[in-house]
Amino acid sequence: MKKHSLFKFFIVSCIFIIIPCKGYGLDITLGGTAWYSWWDFDRSMRTIDIDPAFLYGPVLSVKLNENFNFTFAYLYGKFDYRNKESGNGKISRSDSDLALNYRLNDYLKIFAGIKYMAFAEPGFDHGCYGPGLGLSSTVPLPIVENLFFVGNLSGFYLWGDEEKFQGTVKSDCREYGVNSTLSLAYYIATASTVITFGGRLQYFKTDYGDSVDESGNPTSNIKHMFYGITLTATYTFSF
């Protein structure tokens, strides 16, 4: 499934979940998020240096009732790189999550959903999607009123493929790893707005299995680590 088709699927899913619930009264949270991220990876014969980049995009949360809420987030950005063999370029990255959250108590939620990740540049297209599962926590801090500690930890297992040279070389792959965020959130009551600032770490492995490269050699697996600073602003309203 190509990245544009899956993104449309996420948007349509949001619409079909929100519309049937409209008559019951909903709390809707809309906003934007940015992630200034570094990208390190481990691969044999590495010849690429990558600059940090901003990823940014929309976030959405729909509170269905006291125990369940639905969340959606999409991030997109482009990394500049320098390849000692083939020159410089840009590689785009998409990272999207669609999840249903269940409230365990005042401080903890468990969530499950679908994750999608993609990388692309001219002549290269890589995309994987699959399930994710995690735990999130929100704890009020006594230091300042309306200040909260927010943390989450999740794991994912994805399937997909990679195409090179306009589709002449295609490899199946799997990606599995973890996401973790630690943040401080401040609620501005007069504006029904939350500002969240913190850090995010994402670590995963791209496993090509028995796939071979353009030379007929086994494709090298890659271990990725994305890490950096996040900033999110959201506004909540009811209808």
CATH assignment at residue 48: 2.40.128.100
- Per-residue confidence (pLDDT) for residue 134, from 0 to 100: 98
For the purposes of burial, counting CB atoms within 10 Å of the CB of 51, is it exposed (0-12), middle (13-18) or buried (19 or more)? exposed
Total domains present in the chain = 1
- Per-residue confidence (pLDDT) for residue 26, from 0 to 100: 78
Q: How many residues does the chain have?
A: 239
DSSP of 93-141? EEEEEEEEEEE-SSSEEEEEEEEEEEEEETTEEEEEEEEEEEEEEEEE-
- Are 179 and 156 in contact, with CB atoms under 8 Å apart? yes
- Per-residue confidence (pLDDT) for residue 61, from 0 to 100: 94
- Per-residue confidence (pLDDT) for residue 1, from 0 to 100: 43
- Per-residue confidence (pLDDT) for residue 180, from 0 to 100: 97
Q: Which range of residues forms the domain containing residue 46?
A: 3-238
Predicted TM-score (pTM) of this structure: 0.87
Averages of pLDDT over runs of 10 residues in the chain (239 residues) are: 52 55 71 97 72 96 91 95 83 95 96 95 91 96 92 96 76 94 96 97 91 70 94 92
* 134 closest CA partner among 96, 178, 94: 178
